[in-house]
Structure 1
C-alpha cells in the first residue's frame, strides 16, 4: 500500500482520520468515499492529482476506519457529515476547495456545494445524481414503490438487523458488495429476505480490486457496519434539515460521472433526467462497460476526465 501523509483532526465533535498527498501549497482537492468504501478507493486519483500539483485530501468518513464512529443514529445526519469536512477545511486553513464524492460521498459533496457555495469552487459527483430537494423522504417513497418486495434501503433501517448480517463475515460481505452489486441490492425477492440470501459463501474479488485495496477496505470496516449503516437511517431528518435548500441551484462547475452498468444509477434514472435543471454548470459523462466502483474499475478514464475538468475550472 502506498505511503501517504496521515493525521487525525479534532473537528465537529469527532476525530476525522485524513490521508493527504501532493505539494503543501497546491490547490486543495477533497475526495469523499461512499458505502461501503474507504479512503484508499481513491488511490489512483490521489496519485494523479498529486502529480498534477494538487494538494489531495481523502478522509475516512465518519463511521469508517480510524475516524470516530458514534453510536447515535442522528450523529450521521447529512449536514453533520458536511460539517465534518467544513471543519477539517477550517482546521487546515483552506478557504476554497474542489470537492469530489462517490456514492454517499457524492451526496455529501452535492450538499457541501449547497451549504457553502462560496467555498466549493469546483464539484465532482460520481454515480449518485442530484435532482433537487425531494418532496418526501426517500424511505416513504420507497415503501410505496416496493409494494412488499425487498429493498436494501428499507432493510437497512432497523438498527441491528443489517449489522448482524454484514458483520457476521465482513470479508464475505465486502466481496459480495464490491462484486456484482446488483445481486445483493437489486435482485427481486419478497420483503423479509436477507441481503445475501442465496449468494456464494466464498465470492471472488472483482478484477479491479487488488490485495492492497481489499486490505484497506477490510481495515475501514474492521469495527463493523454500524456507523456506515447509520448514514441510511436519517432520510427523514435529512429532508427536514435541508429545507433551506429548497429551490436552490448547485452553482459551482460540476463534473458528473456514472458507469453505464451502475445499478444505483438505474435506480436514479428519474433524478438523472432532472439534474440539468438544478445544476446549470453541469458536465456529465457515461463510462461504457463500467459499474458502480468507477474510480477503481476505470481509473485512467476517470483521471483523464477529472484532470481535464479541473484544468478548465480549477487549475493547479
Structure 2
C-alpha cells in the first residue's frame, strides 16, 4: 500500500486535471462537489487504501488545481461524464467504483447510467439520481423564487466576484455556516436587494469537522484561478437547463449497477427533495444496496461524518467484491 497521497496531473478530453491518489488495487474514484476539491475526501483516502483499493480523487474540470475551460458550455453533464470515463482509461484501468458528493453525485449517477460497462458500482452522497425533466430552472423559480441560489448563480460574473473577493471568508461561510431554520434544513434563497453571502454569516467558530488548515488548503488551490476562483464551479450550474436538453434522450434510463446512497438528515437537499420524490428517484436504482441516513449531519457528508461514511463505503465495496 502507498502510505502517502500522491499528486499528479492527467490530461483528459483536452483538459488538464489534477488528481490525488493513494493505495493499490481496484480503482475507486471520488468526485467532489461545489465549492470543494479533492481535499473534501481527505478522510477517505487512508481507510479505503488500507482496505486494498486504489483511491483517486480528481479536482474536476474548472476547480482548484485543474484547468478551467473558458466556455460556459464546456461544463455540461456530458462533458463531466466524459472526463470520468476518460480518466478511468488514463489511469490504466478498465472499470471503477465511482463515488460522488453534491455535484459529484449527478456525475457519478450519470456515468453509471450511461457507461455501466465502466462502472462496477456507484455511490451518491447527498444528491440522489435526479430526473431529466424539461427546463428545471423554470421549476426552481416557481418553487423557490428568483433568489434561489441556482438562479442567482446564472448571471455571469455576479456570484463569481462576490465569492472571489475574500476566498477564505467564502469557504468559512459556505462550509462552516449553515442553512437551518428552527433546526430544519431550508433552501438557499437570497432575498431581493441582498448579496449571496449576506445569507450566511461568517461563523464565530468553525465546526469541529472543519479546521483553519482545511480552509487554507482550499483557498490556496482556488487562488490559482485569481478572480475566477469560483467561475469553473459556477459554470456547472449555468448548464442546468442545457443538461436537461442533452439528457432528454436518456429519460427513463435506469441505473443498473449496484449502488449506495448516503445523506444527512440535516442536509439542505432534504428541503428540495420531499420523501415521496426521493423514493421515486431511488426507484431508478434497482440494485440499491443501502440507503443510509445520518442523523445530525448536514450537507458536507463525508467531512462531517467520516467514520460513518467510510463504514458505509467499505461495506458497499465488500458487497461488490463478494
Equivalence map 1:162-173=2 (5 Å): 162-173=159-170
1:204 matched to 2:205? The reply is yes
Partners in 2 of 1:86 and 1:111 — Cα distance?
Answer: 11
Q: Distance in 2 between matches of 1:152 and 1:130?
A: 20
Tell me, yes or no, if structure 1 residue 96 matches structure 2 residue 56.
no
Instruction: Label 1:44 to 1:202 Cα distance change in 2 as closer, same or farther (>3 A).
Output: closer
Say if 2:121 and 2:258, in contact at 8 Å, map to a contact too. Answer: yes
State the partner residue of 1:279: 285
Residue number in structure 1 paired with 2:57: 58
3-state secondary structure, aligned to 1:252: coil
Question: Is contact 2:75-2:235 (8 Å) kept?
Answer: yes
Q: Separation in 2 of the partners of 1:198 and 1:300?
A: 31
Which residue in 2 is equivalent to 1:314?
321
**How far apart are 1:18 and its partner, in Å?**
0.7
Shift of 1:313: 1.3
Q: TM-score, normalised by structure 2?
A: 0.91
Q: CA deviation at 1:70?
A: 1.2
Q: Give 1:182-221 correspondences, 5 Å limit.
A: 182=179, 186=187, 190-197=191-198, 199-200=200-201, 203-221=204-222
For residues 75 and 228 of structure 1, what CA distance do their matches in structure 2 show? 12
Does the 8 A contact of 1:122 with 1:253 survive in 2? yes
Return the TM-score normalized by structure 1. 0.92
Matched ranges for 1:110-149 at <5 A: 110-133=109-132, 135-148=133-146
- Shifted more, 178-187 versus 253-262: the winner is 178-187
Higher relative contact order (CA 8 A, sep 6+): 1
Instruction: Kindly indicate whether the alpha-carbon contact (under 8 Å) linking 2:148 and 2:188 is maintained by their aligned counterparts in 1.
Output: no
Structure 1 unmatched runs, 5+: none
Whole-angstrom CA distance in 1 between matches of 2:157 and 2:87 = 30
Distance in 1 of aligned mates of 2:4 and 2:39: 11
CA RMSD of superposed structures (Å): 1.9
Tell me by how many angstroms 1:42 deviates.
0.5
Residues 236-315 of structure 1 mapped to structure 2, 5 A cutoff: 236-269=241-274, 271-282=277-288, 283-314=290-321
Name the CA distance, whole Å, in 2 between partners of 1:198 and 1:237.
28
